[in-house]
Amino acid sequence: MAFESLSEKLQNVFKNLRSKGRLTEADVKIALKEVKLALLEADVSFKVVKQFIKNVQERAIGQDVMNGLNPGQMVIKIVNEELVNLMGSETTEIALKPGNEITVIMMAGLQGAGKTTTTAKIAAKLKSKGRKPLLAACDVYRPAAIRQLEINGEKVGVEVFSMGDKQNPVDIAKAAIEHARNNGYNVVILDTAGRLHVDESMMEELENIKAAVDVYQTILVVDAMTGQDAVNVADTFNQKVGIDGVILTKLDGDTRGGAALSIKATCGKPILYVGMGEKLSDLEQFYPDRMASRILG
């Protein structure tokens, strides 16, 4: 489970703080130094940690907190609030067009991040909310990807539009939207091709799709297990293609969890959902406050 080690370390720091009746400035500084180390070990980006500690310190070292009734508890409360802020405070939904207007969602991500699985998970979520989603197989580089999407689509009871692997992804996207229009679908989710690493041709392909069809939401899927790489990938995709939100997968795995804390602060885009397993129902909405509570234990 993610954050296990971070939680344990923070709980130790907090236990110390609580055990003191009064707090000196030095007490707070020592505690925050330990918080800083714990966050760095959890693979939170250095820049993010630095700003975080600065924010907490500014609020914690002051007469109000230190002369208050329960200074240790106050510092813990500030850490909690700043963790929530770091993750974006509020829950962000995937934006959808009203009524029966067709919303096109483009899914992007590196190979192995969990894009194809997550695409089907999202389709299932939207279907359960009464939407009529269609999946479009635009990953023409890995023939197995098309088959995988078809299998997943079948599992969640959502049609998969495919034209094989000989067509251009832009043409597939256009044809899928046309198919949606003619068959009463109101969401089209494009499963695009990933690559092993961020590269120009992948970015170009996504840009081409964006230029040719009215993509309403671009969602990037990143793997929490890759830590700071996930954060860098999100930053790069956002700068090159522009993204609206991130889905962080494999948070059920043995990850240190730092990506969950760094993505919003680094690229400015919110985490929408987190993947909590391989099953197509293992997708959870991302609540910054609940995640902070999970981290603080």
Q: 110 labelled as ligand-binding?
A: yes
Chain CA centroid to CA 250, Å? 11
- Classify residue 183 by burial, with Cβ atoms within 10 Å: 0-12, 13-18, 19+: exposed
Pick 29 or 155: Cβ nearer ligand GDP: 155
Residues 225-254 that bind ligand GDP (CB under 6 A): 249-250, 252-253
Chain CA centroid to CA 297, Å? 21
* HSE value, Cβ hemisphere, 13 Å, CA-based, for 113: 33
133 binds ligand GDP, rule: CB under 6 A: no
- Give least dist CB 271 to ligand GDP, A: 13
Give the span between the Cα atoms of 140 and 166, in whole angstroms: 7
111 binds ligand GDP, rule: CB under 6 A: yes
Pick 2 or 49: Cβ nearer ligand GDP: 2
Pick 80 or 249: Cβ nearer ligand GDP: 249
What are the φ and ψ backbone dihedral angles of 61, each rounded to 5 degrees? -90, 100
Q: 103 labelled as ligand-binding?
A: no
Q: 193 labelled as ligand-binding?
A: yes
Task: Report how many residues bind ligand GDP under the rule CB under 6 A.
Answer: 18
- Give least dist CB 86 to ligand GDP, A: 22
Pick 37 or 144: Cβ nearer ligand GDP: 144
Neighbours of 107 (CB within 10 A): 24
* 29-46 residues labelled b (16+ CB within 10 A) or e (exposed): eebbebbbebbeebbbbe
Query: What would the x/- binding string for ligand GDP be over residues 137 to 176, using CB under 6 A?
Result: ----------------------------------------
- Give least dist CB 158 to ligand GDP, A: 15
Give the span between the Cα atoms of 106 and 129, in whole angstroms: 19
Query: Looking at residue 102, what DSSP letter applies?
Result: P
Residues 250-279 that bind ligand GDP (CB under 6 A): 250, 252-253, 275-278
Helix, strand, or coil (residue 187): strand
192 binds ligand GDP, rule: CB under 6 A: no
- Residue nearest ligand GDP by beta-carbon distance: 275
Give the span between the Cα atoms of 281 and 21, in whole angstroms: 47
116 binds ligand GDP, rule: CB under 6 A: yes
The residue to which tokens 């110390």 are assigned: 16
Query: Which residues in this chain contact ligand GDP in the complex, by CB under 6 A?
Result: 109, 111-117, 194, 249-250, 252-253, 275-278, 282
From the annotation, which residues make up the binding site?
A: 109-116, 191-195, 249-252
Q: Which residues are annotated as a binding site for GTP?
A: 109-116, 191-195, 249-252
